[in-house]
Structure 1
Amino acid sequence: MTTIENGSEKRELTGKRALVTGGSRGIGAAVVRQLLDAGAEVLTTARSATSTVPEGATFVPADVRTRAGAEALAAAAQELFGGVDILVHNAGGARPYPGSSAIPDEEWQGALDLNYLASVWLDSLLTAGMRERRSGRIVHISSAAVPASTGPFLHYTAAKAALENYSRGLAKELAPFGIRVNTVSPGRVATPGGEATRELWAQLDVAPAGQDHAAVPLGRDGLPDDIADAVLFLVSDRASWLTGSNLFVDGGEFPRG
């Protein structure tokens, strides 16, 4: 979306500073590209850079699975950008196991660290500036599969369920400061990471029937830009009266109600 101001084109996020975790490929890279196209200055991170980090973004390596890693990333955002106006938590994931009882303790903790606590840590570190400015936008990326949790991914969906509950509570806490907090829950999306995870799941021979795009009512896998479109909407002024929401972008795959 663009607007015309004094005869010149102005992009809707011009002047905004954004941080996107897990932005080196897939959904995260699509979010970075769309924020850049909308005029934002974007800092993105992953454990290591790849050739798919969008051109124009500032990249710093970081491991947000630890409090120390989150603190280092927050310090980099402050040093490079002077703070952030938009925070998108995309880093996440977990490997499947034959069932919940087969998930090692360290994998339970790792799923919580990456898919839940990383957001808690970064939010607590970066919202101080948003509170002072009385403005900010936060988006947590969850999963549309949370209501249909299965044993092989129970550590992942349990962590995402905690993230969704936390996100709703944080939205209420920060609303008086003009900070909006929302969640996007993707369904089956065609990304390299997603395909690798589905291949591992298939090898376990425990995947329920219908785990392919034929099970999606709209008849196709999602694309990274489908999710990025939702994120861009939520961080824009077009969503100025939305906070505490969870936007499912799954082609109708997971019934809710």
Structure 2
Amino acid sequence: MGQSVVSSFLLLRDLLQRLACLAILALSLSLIAYTAACALGHAPWLSLDLRFGDYILPQAGMVTQVVLTALVTSLCFFLPTNARIMALETSHRRFHIGMQDVARAYAVAHAADRSGVFTLSSEFDSIRERIAFLRDHPDLAELESSVLEVAAQMSHLSRELGQVYSDRNVARARDFLIQRQQEIEDFNTRLDHAKSVATEMRNWLNRVEMDEAVAEAQLARLCDELTEILPELGEAAEPETPPEPVVAEDSWEDEVQQDDGRIVALLARRAAE
């Protein structure tokens, strides 16, 4: 509870200080503009009747206006100092802003370390070299010396990391990965071509096997048809033989020879058909 009250009071004080600075700046600009207009005759001077005893002060209003303008304008010269004090108080209350500055300075030093800018090996010389580099850097001109010193010490502790992940090593690793990626793409291209050739040959083989199966089926069916037809043709071509007459034994051999000749002639006719 007390912490929140203190925070609220500090916030209110900062707000009032900023409002006061804005009011002083606006009042001084207004008085300067009005006094310049009065001096050029475009506006009337301040009228004020003042007397010191019996002595009446002439043109007291104009003198008062000029003095008041000069006083308020002189207060504007204290505004930059007040702004720096307020920024310093804010930086003390908000420490993470300082850490952001340290991180920014460390990032610059680490990038320079990776590029091989720092060459000194001893700790004292290395930190001094890094501080001088950070002081001369154009992006870190507004940082304090303590911030640069902390960043230089941090960069010195991580110098081995900067050497391992230097720009040259990172570029070489990137080139190696790009080359490996190109090799993988070439291998995938050749693999896709081999797959397409294998698929084409497999389809070709399937078509040839199918054609062979169809031819074999047709040949088998033709053989079955011939097997069914040939016996019918043989029975139709065989002539009717009359009953064998009773012959004598001496003519039996001649008839057998005649029957063999008819059989041979029948077989020759079938072969010719």
Aligning the two structures, in what range does the TM-score lie when normalised by the shorter sequence? under 0.3
**Greater CA radius of gyration, 1 or 2?**
2
Task: Give the TM-score normalised by the residue count of structure 2.
Answer: 0.16
Task: Give the TM-score normalised by the residue count of structure 1.
Answer: 0.17
Instruction: Identify which of structures 1 and 2 has the higher relative contact order when contacts are C-alpha pairs closer than 8 Å and 6+ apart.
Output: 1
| Higher share of residues assigned strand | 1
